């Protein structure tokens, strides 16, 4: 409630998303009177750093060398965030499901979990890393899907990269974000729908879902991939000089200058 009151008292509200992605939500919020001025200025991700990435810097990371050797769109990137985590039982099912899928994957997983998960993965088609540069990985041509916990920052990075998502929300805003990804934006599939009565998603269901999303022949995967590419193009247009977010940033800066002048 305190946050809601703070929003109502504000003169401006900045959204890290962009208008074309969430037009209905933004229009609805702006229709409430009285309301502060609303500026979608996203996607608020460090996309400029992609242009600064040198070949030498990339060569220092073994996982980029591995990605460079993989066919386009063949690798599933897996990351469930660093703040919340699934149960050890679910983590084990996930590892065995990935191994059973025979899909190539890059899994970013905290270091203390590596030893137990490596044993479960066995001689699989993937690699395990304690950390990676997520945005640069998502923008790599070998990445064809993203198994994600649905943190909004991760979701926006996947939208910017045009990568379809397989969602495994854990808590907080993540289930809502998953619904946006799957039902509204239509750029992913929900893995949690496969949950069994004991509260686990089994390795067989995980393997099947991964294979389906990464299949170039599955019609639903093609539709999701097409939609992801359309939103990628929309996100790039939004931050161009003539784009919706770029214009909002310029207008917002002018408004802030006026306010600062009035306060002097």
From-to residues of CATH 3.40.50.2000 in the chain: 63-235
Residues linked to residue 2 through DSSP beta bridges, in sequence order: none
Q: Is 66 exposed, middle or buried (0-12, 13-18, 19+ CB in 10 A)?
A: middle
What is the C-alpha to C-alpha distance for residues 101 and 97, in angstroms, rounded to an integer? 6
Quote the tokens at residue 256: 């802030």
> For position 11, what pLDDT does the model report?
74
CA 126 vs CA 88, 102, 129, 214: distances in Å: 20, 9, 10, 14
Decide: helix, strand or coil at residue 15: strand
What is the C-alpha to C-alpha distance for residues 246 and 159, in angstroms, rounded to an integer? 18
CATH of 63-235, one of 3.40.50.2000, 2.30.30.140, 3.40.980.10, 3.30.390.50: 3.40.50.2000
Residues linked to residue 188 through DSSP beta bridges, in sequence order: 165
CA 122 from centroid of its chain's CA atoms: 27
> For position 227, what pLDDT does the model report?
96
Residues linked to residue 190 through DSSP beta bridges, in sequence order: 167
pTM confidence score: 0.87
CB 108 within 8 Å of CB 130 = yes
Low-confidence ranges of the chain (pLDDT < 50): 54-56, 59, 254, 257-264
> For position 63, what pLDDT does the model report?
94
> For position 68, what pLDDT does the model report?
95
């Amino acid at each position: 409630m305190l946050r809601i009151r703070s929003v109502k008292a504000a003169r401006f509200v900045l959204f890290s998303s962009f208008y074309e992605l969430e037009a209905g939500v933004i229009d609805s919020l702006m229709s409430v009177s009285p309301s502060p001025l609303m500026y979608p200025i996203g996607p608020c991700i460090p996309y400029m750093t992609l242009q600064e990435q040198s070949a030498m810097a990339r060569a220092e990371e073994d996982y980029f060398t591995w990605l460079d050797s993989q066919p386009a769109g063949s690798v599933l990137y897996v990351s469930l965030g660093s703040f919340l985590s699934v149960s050890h039982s679910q983590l084990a099912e996930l590892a065995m499901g990935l191994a059973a899928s025979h899909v190539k994957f890059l899994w970013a997983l905290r270091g203390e979990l590596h030893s137990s998960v490596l044993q479960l993965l066995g001689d699989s088609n993937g690699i395990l890393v304690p950390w990676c540069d997520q945005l640069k990985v998502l923008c790599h041509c070998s990445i064809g899907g993203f198994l994600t916990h649905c943190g909004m920052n991760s979701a926006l990075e996947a939208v910017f990269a045009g990568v379809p998502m397989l969602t495994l929300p854990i808590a907080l805003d993540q289930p809502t974000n998953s619904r946006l990804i799957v039902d509204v934006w239509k750029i992913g599939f929900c893995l949690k729908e496969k949950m069994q009565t004991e509260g686990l998603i089994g390795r067989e269901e995980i393997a099947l879902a991964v294979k389906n999303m990464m299949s170039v022949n599955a019609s639903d995967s093609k539709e999701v991939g097409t939609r992801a590419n359309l939103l990628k193009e929309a996100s790039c247009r939004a931050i161009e000089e003539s784009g919706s977010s770029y214009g909002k940033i310029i207008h917002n800066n002018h408004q802030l200058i006026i306010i600062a002048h009035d306060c002097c």
